[in-house]
Amino acid sequence: MAWNHRYTQPRPTQERLYVERVPVPDTTCPSCGSSDIARYPVANHFGPRMATKCQKCLHILAMDRPTDEDNWPPFRSVTYDWKASPGERAARDALLRELAAIDR
pLDDT for res 57: 97
Task: Give the mean pLDDT of the chain.
Answer: 85
Q: Which residue has the higher pLDDT, 71 or 77?
A: 71
Report pLDDT digits (tens) over 27-76: 999 999 999 999 999 988 888 899 999 999 999 999 998 888 888 887 77
| In the chain, domain spans | 19-74
Q: Which residue has the higher pLDDT, 27 or 14?
A: 27
Name the residue type at position 28: T
End-to-end CA distance of the chain: 44
pLDDT for res 58: 96
pLDDT for res 73: 81
CATH topology of domain 19-74: N-terminal domain of TfIIb (2.20.25)
| Cα–Cα dist 75/53, whole Å | 24
| Cα–Cα dist 31/13, whole Å | 39
Measured from the Cβ of residue 37, the count of other Cβ atoms closer than 10 Å reads 22
Q: Please state whether the predicted TM-score (pTM) of the whole model is above 0.85.
A: no
